[in-house]
Every structure is written in structure tokens, then in C-alpha cells.
């Protein structure tokens, strides 16, 4: 049998062999045995060489999944830039507990008076006490700028940075941002020699499964390094309007707050901020502020001592599959504009309630959460393109980004006394989609305290267990629009529903306002 390689594969050919006389002599057998031995030896060598080659892909795959052999070299370059943050503050003594009132002549009256009188005297004798806390931070500038979490230094009277070489320097708070829990410190006086500093990396290129290192001060033990992977991205843990956390299984414990999360090149890709743990110790679910979220905020704190976020003046809500179908969108995407602030950047740029923002300044708006983050990171006074879907058509608008006033609370509406006529006139109602509704009257406006400028169909009641009730529609709400057409009477609503049903629509998009004028959209199935 002759084997030959032709092209990429091994092919087999069997040519005819000439007739041969059989020879069983001793010499012949020796020659045959030699040939067999040589062939067996060659086959053994070939197999010996092929086996390791066949195992190479498996070995490479195993090496890729087991993680880095060591991070010691990288750690040696960055450990000195990580510091322990210690704080102290003065706490006033606890207030004394008032003596409870007991019925005169109670057998315990004298005992309680003596007990609480002694407690009050002890409280008056107590002096204000000092309490301390520990956290982590890292140097980002050789001149002494340090990043940590805001909650590490909140309410502190004194802040100190403790370095790996045993030195301890006082630090002043340059600025803080409570919304993403970041603070910038500066050691004072300026150090005699440049401090070891680390640089930020690009958190946007991180993938789930990438290896990372966390370094910090867990439980006050000092510089501690743990290794893990990125478990998830874009986590919303309901801690603020700009939640966009990296999740990691690298061990993060109490005292790690404010410490850095490094990639394998030694660049900071996150700031360790929070953990989920029933016991207070690591269970492998930790969260870090992405470096690309923190970088512009830190730059603002360094330059201005405060944040200067972008703002456009809109209220938004999630685009659900039902709302997407009602708006003729191909899928649930973007951020739905619920209302627009008068004289705000969005209003001046032409945005309207009911628009779905799918792109802002060239960045895709995947969902409702993405828009506030993108807007906040946009420089103030920058003119940007905003792509919206309006009544099924895509439009591009231009607006100039304003500045978010983070120190001004939203004004609350003034309370007015409720007026109830003794004999209110009868109201004609109609029930549609589980909602009993009526045309606006002065009596209904007064009864539900509806602002004078609001117009729409008044919701009188909602059937319990209906979809409308599940979606939060309640008595006193107004149905302002149905599929972006204004409605003033129950008849208007009924006509719009009939037209949508004729078009084959399965749900109707309602613009609903509360008595104060806060607008939102919800989709209800057409009966």
C-alpha cells in the first residue's frame, strides 16, 4: 500500500503489484524482518512527533482559560500609588431620652424617674467624641492629587493619606460629586518628592471575562491585592441617575471603597465603590465606577472644584415593546420624551413630548438610561445633533447643551385647600379600556386639584386588576393624547381607538398627565 499527500489531504492509491515468487529462506526472512523493524520504528517516530503537535491547541486553550500565571510584576509597579484614607470627625453626644409619662401613683413611677434622671445626667456630662473611618484611594498626579469615593470622606473634619512607605500626609478636599460617589483630594503641603502615580485606562474596551486587579485597604489591613474578572458591564444598582457600573468578582470588602480596579497593564479602569453582601464580606459581587465615567468628572473637580454636567431639560421614560408598537418603531429602543421644560435647551431645539431620542451627539441612545449619561458627559454650550423618531419619521434637530444646576431642588407645587360643593353637578362618563373618563369641568378641576393650564380627558376611576391600573393610571389623571393626537372628550378617545383598531393596531399610546402636569406615556391594549 502506498500513501502519498496530495493537496491538503492524505489520499490512498493501490497500484497493481507484479507477480513474485515466495522465498522462505533464512536470509530472506532476515531481510523481511529488517524491513519490518525499520517500518515500525519510522511509524513510532512519526506518532511520537504527531502527538505533541496535536495537543498544542488544547494546551493553548487551557493556558488561555486559567488566567495570568502571575501579576506580581505589574503589582510591583502600581502598589505604591494606592493609599489608605483615614478620616476623623467630631460627633455630638447622643440626645437624652425623655422620661415617659406614667399614671400618678404607679408603682414604677419612682423607679423610672430615678433611672431616666441618671441617664440624662450622664448624657449632659458626655463631651463630643471623635470617630474615625478607613477607606482607599489612589494617586493620579505626582503633585499629590488623590481619587477616592465621596462616602469615604463625607462629613470628615480631617482626612489623611497613608502611603505604603509608612508616611502620612494630610489631604484637603478639592471637590466631590455625590451622584457617582467620587471625591478628589490634594495632599498638603505639597510633598517634597513626586509621588508614585497611576494613569487611567479605557473602560469602554473592557469585555466580560477580562482579568482585573483590585487593590485597597480591606478591614484596615493595608495594601491588599485581589484578582478576578469583569463579570458584567453597565450595571444599574439604583444608587443614582448615572449608574453605569462595572461588576467584578475580584474580592472587594469594607475598606476597599475608593480603591482602584486595574487591568492587566496596570491602568485604572474602575473605582471600587459598592458590594452586594448579606454579611459585609465579599461574595464575589462588587461594583466599580468605570474610568471613562469618572475621567471627565475628575477633570471638572480639578479645574473648577465642582461638577459641570450637561443638561437639556426633559423628562424621559423607557420605551417598552407596547410603546414601540404604538409608535411604529421596529423595536424597543431609545428614550421617550415625556415632557419638555419651558425655555430649556430641548424646547429651544424643537424637541417635543412623544419624541423618541435614538442618537445624541453622534452616540447611540440604546435605552432610557443611556441618555442622561450621554448628556451629562457632553460639554456645556456645545451644539449637538439629536436624532428623534417623531410620528414614525426620523428627524435630526440641533440644540445647545445647557448646564445642570445640581444645587437647586425642583420647586414643589403649592397646596390649595380642597373645595367640595355641597351638590356637585352630575358628570357624564364613559368607560374605555377599563378607565372611566369624563370631559373636563370646573368642578372636576377643583375636585382633583388639576392645574388651570392642563387640558385633557379626566380619569374618574380605574377598574381594579385592569391593565390601566397595573400601568399606574389613577383617578385625577388626564388623558392628554392618544397616539399623539389631542383628546378633550371621551368621544375623542373613542374615535382614536376605533381608528387605531381599523389600522390593525393592538395597543394605543396614551399621554397621561397627573394633576400637577407631570407627563408620561403608557400603552394600553385596545379592547
pLDDT at 499: 87
Q: Of the ranges 66-70, 103-107, 167-171, 316-320, which one carries the lowest mean pLDDT score?
A: 103-107
- Give the chain's end-to-end CA distance (angstroms, integer): 80
177 pairs with which residues across the strands? 182
pLDDT tens digits, 264-307:
999 999 999 988 887 777 888 999 999 999 999 999 999 999 99
3 has binding-site annotation: no
pLDDT at 221: 79
Is 507 considered catalytic here?
A: no
The predicted model gives 171-191 an average pLDDT of: 91
Contact 361, 378 (CB under 8 A): yes
The predicted model gives 95-100 an average pLDDT of: 53
446: three-class secondary structure by DSSP: helix
**DSSP annotation string for 46-100:** HHHHHHHHHHHHHHHHHHHHS--S--HHHHHHHGGGEEEEEEEEEEPPPPPPPPP
pLDDT tens digits, 414-424:
333 333 344 45
> Residue 475's closest CA among 461, 493, 490, 492?
461
> Residue 366's closest CA among 316, 321, 319?
319
pLDDT at 37: 53
> Residue 266's closest CA among 182, 200, 208?
200
From 133, 257, 326, 339, the catalytic residue: 257
Backbone angles phi and psi of 33, in degrees to 5: -65, -35
pLDDT at 20: 43
> Residue 452's closest CA among 444, 460, 462?
444
pLDDT tens digits, 248-260:
999 998 888 999 9
Instruction: Give helix 370-377 / helix 291-304 axis angle, nearest 10°.
Output: 40
From 136, 177, 181, 243, the catalytic residue: 181
Alpha helices in 359-438 (DSSP H): 370-377
Query: At CA 472, angle to CA 470 and CA 475, rounded to 5?
Result: 115
**pLDDT category, 35, cuts 50, 70, 90?**
low
C-alpha cell at 249: 468578582
Alpha carbon distance 119, 208 (integer Å): 56
Long-range contacts of 368-373 (CB under 8 A, 24+ apart): 368/316, 368/317, 368/318, 368/319, 368/335, 368/336, 369/234, 369/236, 369/243, 369/244, 370/335, 371/316, 371/335, 372/241, 372/242, 372/316, 373/242, 373/244, 373/293
73 has binding-site annotation: no
pLDDT tens digits, 358-390:
999 999 999 888 899 999 989 999 999 999 998
pLDDT at 500: 87
199: three-class secondary structure by DSSP: coil
289 pairs with which residues across the strands? 271
Cell match 477616592: residue? 148
Alpha carbon distance 268, 265 (integer Å): 9
pLDDT at position 413 over 60: no
The predicted model gives 329-341 an average pLDDT of: 88
165: three-class secondary structure by DSSP: coil
pLDDT at 471: 87
pLDDT tens digits, 396-407:
999 999 998 875
Cell match 374618574: residue? 460
Domains of the chain: 210-304 (2.40.10.10), 311-403 (2.30.42.10), 429-525 (2.30.42.10)
> Residue 289's closest CA among 266, 273, 307, 267?
273
257 has binding-site annotation: yes
Note the residue count of the chain: 527
The predicted model gives 185-200 an average pLDDT of: 89
291 has binding-site annotation: no
Mean pLDDT estimate for the chain: 79
Alpha carbon distance 22, 30 (integer Å): 14
With a CB cutoff of 8 Å and minimum separation 6, the contacts of 313 are 340, 341, 344, 345, 346, 347, 402
Alpha carbon distance 269, 63 (integer Å): 24
Contact 278, 188 (CB under 8 A): no
The predicted model gives 303-316 an average pLDDT of: 91
The predicted model gives 103-130 an average pLDDT of: 60
Burial label, 469 (beta-carbon count in 10 A; 0-12, 13-18, 19+): middle
pLDDT at 399: 93
From 133, 151, 339, 507, the catalytic residue: 151
Contact 176, 304 (CB under 8 A): no
Alpha carbon distance 467, 230 (integer Å): 39
Q: What region, left, alpha or beta, does residue 456 occupy, with left being phi > 0 and alpha being psi -120 to 50 degrees?
A: left
pLDDT at 201: 94
Cell match 419612682: residue? 110
151 has binding-site annotation: yes
pLDDT > 70: what percent of the chain? 75
Is 141 considered catalytic here?
A: no
Alpha carbon distance 526, 505 (integer Å): 8
pLDDT at position 452 over 70: yes
Distances (CA, A) of 377 to 1, 131, 172, 403, 462: 73, 37, 26, 11, 41
Contact 88, 156 (CB under 8 A): yes
Averaging pLDDT over each range in 90-99, 113-122, 507-516, which range is the top one? 507-516
Is 167 considered catalytic here?
A: no
pLDDT tens digits, 225-246:
999 999 999 898 877 788 889 9
Amino acid at each position: 500500500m502506498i500513501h502519498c499527500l496530495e493537496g491538503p489531504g492524505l489520499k490512498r492509491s493501490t497500484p497493481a503489484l507484479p507477480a513474485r515468487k515466495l522465498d522462505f529462506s533464512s536470509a530472506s526472512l532476515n531481510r523481511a524482518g529488517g524491513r519490518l523493524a525499520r517500518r515500525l520504528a519510522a511509524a513510532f517516530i512519526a506518532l511520537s512527533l504527531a502527538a505533541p503537535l496535536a495537543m498544542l491547541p488544547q494546551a493553548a486553550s487551557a493556558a488561555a482559560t486559567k488566567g495570568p500565571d502571575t501579576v506580581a510584576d505589574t503589582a510591583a509597579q502600581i502598589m505604591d500609588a494606592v493609599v489608605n484614607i483615614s478620616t476623623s470627625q467630631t460627633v455630638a453626644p447622643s440626645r437624652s431620652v425623655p422620661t415617659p409619662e406614667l399614671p400618678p401613683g404607679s408603682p414604677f413611677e419612682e423607679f423610672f424617674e430615678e433611672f431616666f434622671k441618671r441617664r440624662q445626667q450622664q448624657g449632659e456630662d458626655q463631651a463630643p467624641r471623635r470617630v474615625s473611618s478607613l477607606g482607599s484611594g489612589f494617586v493620579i498626579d505626582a503633585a499629590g492629587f488623590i481619587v477616592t469615593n465621596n462616602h469615604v470622606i463625607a462629613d470628615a473634619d480631617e482626612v489623611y493619606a497613608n502611603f505604603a512607605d509608612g508616611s502620612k500626609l494630610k489631604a484637603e478636599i478639592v471637590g466631590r460629586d455625590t451622584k457617582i460617589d467620587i471625591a478628589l483630594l490634594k495632599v498638603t503641603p505639597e510633598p517634597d518628592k513626586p509621588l508614585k502615580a497611576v494613569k487611567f485606562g479605557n473602560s469602554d474596551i473592557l469585555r466580560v471575562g477580562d482579568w482585573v486587579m483590585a487593590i485597597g485597604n480591606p478591614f484596615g489591613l493595608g495594601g491588599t491585592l485581589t484578582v478576578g474578572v469583569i463579570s458584567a458591564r453597565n450595571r444599574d444598582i439604583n444608587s443614582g441617575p448615572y449608574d453605569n457600573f462595572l461588576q467584578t468578582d475580584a474580592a472587594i470588602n469594607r475598606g476597599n471603597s475608593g480603591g482602584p480596579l486595574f487591568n492587566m497593564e496596570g491602568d485604572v479602569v474602575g473605582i471600587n465603590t459598592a458590594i452586594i453582601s448579606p454579611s459585609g464580606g465579599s461574595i464575589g459581587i462588587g461594583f466599580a465606577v468605570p474610568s471613562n465615567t469618572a475621567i471627565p468628572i475628575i477633570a471638572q473637580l480639578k479645574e473648577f472644584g465642582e461638577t459641570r454636567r450637561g443638561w437639556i431639560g426633559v423628562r424621559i421614560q423607557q420605551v417598552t415593546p407596547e410603546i414601540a408598537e404604538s409608535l411604529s418603531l421596529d423595536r424597543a429602543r431609545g428614550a421617550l420624551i415625556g415632557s419638555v421644560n419651558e425655555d430649556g435647551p430641548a424646547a429651544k431645539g424643537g424637541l417635543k413630548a412623544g419624541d423618541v431620542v435614538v442618537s445624541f451627539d453622534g452616540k447611540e441612545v440604546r435605552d432610557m438610561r443611556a441618555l442622561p449619561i450621554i448628556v451629562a458627559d457632553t460639554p456645556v454650550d456645545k451644539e449637538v445633533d439629536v436624532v428623534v423618531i417623531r410620528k414614525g419619521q426620523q428627524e435630526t434637530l440641533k440644540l445647545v447643551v445647557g448646564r445642570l444646576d445640581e444645587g437647586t431642588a425642583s420647586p414643589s407645587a403649592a397646596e390649595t385647600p380642597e373645595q367640595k360643593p355641597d351638590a356637585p353637578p352630575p358628570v357624564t362618563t364613559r368607560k374605555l379600556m377599563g378607565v372611566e373618563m369624563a370631559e373636563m369641568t370646573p368642578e372636576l378641576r377643583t375636585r382633583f386639584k388639576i392645574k388651570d393650564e392642563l387640558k385633557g380627558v379626566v380619569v374618574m376611576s380605574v377598574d381594579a386588576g385592569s391593565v390601566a391600573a397595573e400601568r399606574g393610571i389613577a383617578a385625577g389623571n388626564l388623558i392628554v393624547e392618544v397616539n399623539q393626537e389631542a383628546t378633550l372628550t371621551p368621544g375623542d378617545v373613542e374615535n382614536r381607538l376605533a381608528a387605531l383598531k381599523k389600522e390593525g393596531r393592538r395597543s394605543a399610546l396614551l399621554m397621561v398627565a397627573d394633576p400637577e402636569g407631570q407627563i408620561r406615556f403608557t400603552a394600553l391594549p385596545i379592547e
